[in-house]
Structure formats: structure tokens, C-alpha cells
Amino acid sequence: MSFPGARLTIVLLLCATIGGCGKREPDGPRLLLLCAAGMREPVSGVVGEFEDQTGIEVDIQFGGSGTLLAMMDQVKADLYLAADVAYIEKASEQGLVVSRHEIGTQSPVLAWNTSRKFKVSNLPEWVMNSRRLGMVIPETAAIGKVTEEVLKQEGVWSDMEHHARFVTVYELANAIQLGAVDSGIIWDNVAAGYDGITIQKLASLDKVVSKVEVAVLLSSPLPEVATRFAGFLATEETGRVFFRAHGLKMQETP
């Protein structure tokens, strides 16, 4: 489904955030990383470590993986870190990617406000018996796309039409914690960082594994520096320390 007006709005907001599309004039090497919102905590830590060690500054634009991919032709970014490898593959198919670097994996879970949790055994039961659900929009973020796919498989996607919708995984997680909604599907590592949220694993979610990758982009004015940072993000002794602490499961290093 396409939303031209919404797309234009996001473009304008994104350009304003980074100080103007394509107008980057740093005094020294400076990278722009487009990063999935759910990776905010570990990526912020990695960036701080990288800047301390190298003196190279990294600007981060957080957003849903889908939103960032849709805006990529409007922004001269150096790297793109997506919450699911499917978005990296789409960027590759569009000829936007120079190289790809694996980081780890995450899985969706059913997250409840602890004080409002009740027993369900499957997703249809959750959708049909819970009155105040929340979900992330499929067009904006990887977790939203995962939610759509699993609920379609369970035959209850159409029943989500009137429930609350959010742009990023953190928006939904905050709403669950505050009790604005009772529950929703979010990433396991994001849920683990919240007090007042109880995780419930379900069979239909357990089998879903999303690979997290970072890509160096063809649009990068500094491809060698960008590749250096991508390696830093994906290396066991540097970036993966932060991602593992955040709850990501690590891929085996070749």
C-alpha cells in the first residue's frame, strides 16, 4: 500500500533532522548511519566507542527499517542497519549496497503490560480475546512486517484493523509499559530492556528469526571509512559486545 503524502512528510522530516538532504560538509571524516529504531541502545554505545577510538564522527538517523529504506534515495547516507535482512536484500536489489556485514539475530515475542497479562495459548486467541492491542505499522518497521506475516498465517490479520498502531518498535514498547495498550508483538531484546513488561513466547513466533545486518551504501562519499565502521559494528571484540549485551544472538564468525 502506498501513501504518497506520508512519504513526502517523512522525506522532509528526515532532511530537516540531518540538516538538509545531500548537504554534508564536515570538517573531518563524518559518517551517516541509517539505523533501525530497535537497535538504538547498542548502536549508540558502539558509535561512542568507535568515535573515541578513531576520532571519526558518526551521525545516526533512527527510524523504522521500512521508512529508512524508502528514504534512501533522498539522503546521501554511508550505512544502513536494518532489523531484518529482507530490507538489506531489497536495498541490494535496488543497487544501493556495496557490502553487507552480519551482526546477529532477534525474534518476535508477545509482550504484555505485566499488570494486565492474561493467559493465551496462541495468536488467534490473543487477537480475539484482548481488547487493547497495539501493533507496529508494516510499512514502516520490520517488526510490523513480521506481525503482519504471522497474523496472516494465523488467519487473524484482518481483526487487527481497529487496534492502535505505532511507527517504531520503541513506540509500541513504551505504550505497553505505560498501559496505553495491554500488549503487542515486539523484538525479544527490546522487551527485555523494559520494567513492567512480561514476555510470552508462542510457537508461531518462536520459529521466526530475523537476521540483523549493516550495509555499506553506494551513496557513501567515504566508502573506505564506512567499511571500517561496518567492520567495527560486526566484529566480536568491538560492536558485538554491545549487541550481545542488548540481547541479540550472535552469528558464528566464519
- Closest listed residue to residue 84, CA positions, set 41, 137, 145, 139: 145
pLDDT digits (tens, 9 = 90+) for 20-36: 444 444 567 899 999 99
Indicate whether 10 and 95 sit together in one domain: yes
Residues 126 and 171 in one domain: yes
103-123 pLDDT per residue, tens: 999 999 999 999 999 989 999
pLDDT tens, residue by residue, 37-65: 999 999 999 999 999 999 999 999 999 99
Q: Are residues 58 and 176 in the same domain?
A: no
Q: 177-223, pLDDT tens digit by residue? A: 999 999 999 999 999 999 999 999 899 999 999 999 999 999 999 99
Q: Are residues 233 and 197 part of one domain?
A: no
Domain that holds residue 156: 108-206
Cell numbers for 222, please give them: 567515504
Residues 164 and 227 occupy one common structural domain: no
CATH number of the domain that 119 lies in? 3.40.190.10
Same domain, 99 and 216: yes
User: Are 99 and 112 members of one domain?
Assistant: no
- Count of C-beta atoms within a 10 Å radius of residue 157: 18
User: Do 93 and 126 lie in a common domain?
Assistant: no
Q: What pTM does this model have?
A: 0.85
Task: Find out whether 87 and 191 touch, Cβ atoms under 8 Å.
Answer: no
Buried b (16+ CB within 10 A) or exposed e, 165-198: bbbbbbbbbebbbeeebbbbbbbbbbbeebeebb
**Structural domains of the chain, count:** 2
Domain final position from 187, 206, 225: 206
Residue 13 pLDDT greater than 70, yes or no? no
Q: pLDDT band at residue 16, thresholds of 50, 70 and 90?
A: very low
Rounded to an integer, what distance in angstroms lies between the CA atom of residue 70 and that of residue 118? 38
Q: Are residues 24 and 101 in the same domain?
A: yes
Same domain, 195 and 218: no
φ, ψ at 22 (rounded to 5°): 75, 5
